[in-house]
Amino acid sequence: MSTFQTALSGLQAASTDLQVMGNNIANANTVGFKQSNAQFADAYASAIAGTSPQYGQIGIGTSVQTVAQQFSQGNIQTSANPLDIAINGQGFFQFNYDGATVYGRNGQFQIDK
């Protein structure tokens, strides 16, 4: 792997991290939103473990291993709506949406009309 490709792998990983952070910032005020974090893996560890085509090589860059959603408890805020509900701890609300069961943490409920 060339030096250029090694540097490029770092730039691509940083770009993904910026996209994830931008998404977190854009949704900071979205009720029930759970932030995500990019988790990185160095290509060296993959090469040593034998899970990379560059087995045994060192200094061959980095990659985004996964983008993981964080399910830690967010802030609970009071509201004037008596139908608003918050989940304190783990769990999800279960909804029926177009015949499918979906899950979410947004507890801003209202009565169907």
pLDDT at 16: 93
Same domain for 2 and 55, yes or no, is: yes
Same domain for 55 and 82, yes or no, is: no
pLDDT at 43: 64
In degrees, to the nearest 5, what angle opens at C-alpha 1 toward C-alphas 64 and 60? 45
Task: Copy the structure tokens of residue 52.
Answer: 């990379």
Query: What residues make up the domain containing 20?
Result: 1-70
Q: How many residues does the chain have?
A: 113
pLDDT of the chain, 113 residues: tens digit per residue: 577 888 888 899 999 999 999 999 999 888 888 899 999 887 665 555 555 555 455 567 888 889 998 887 777 888 999 999 988 888 899 999 999 999 988 889 988 87
Return d(Cα 44, Cα 56) in angstroms, integer: 8
pLDDT at 113: 75
Same domain for 63 and 86, yes or no, is: no
pLDDT at 88: 86
Same domain for 87 and 44, yes or no, is: no
Overall number of domains in the chain:
2
Same domain for 11 and 42, yes or no, is: yes
Same domain for 49 and 64, yes or no, is: yes
pLDDT at 63: 81
Same domain for 2 and 53, yes or no, is: yes
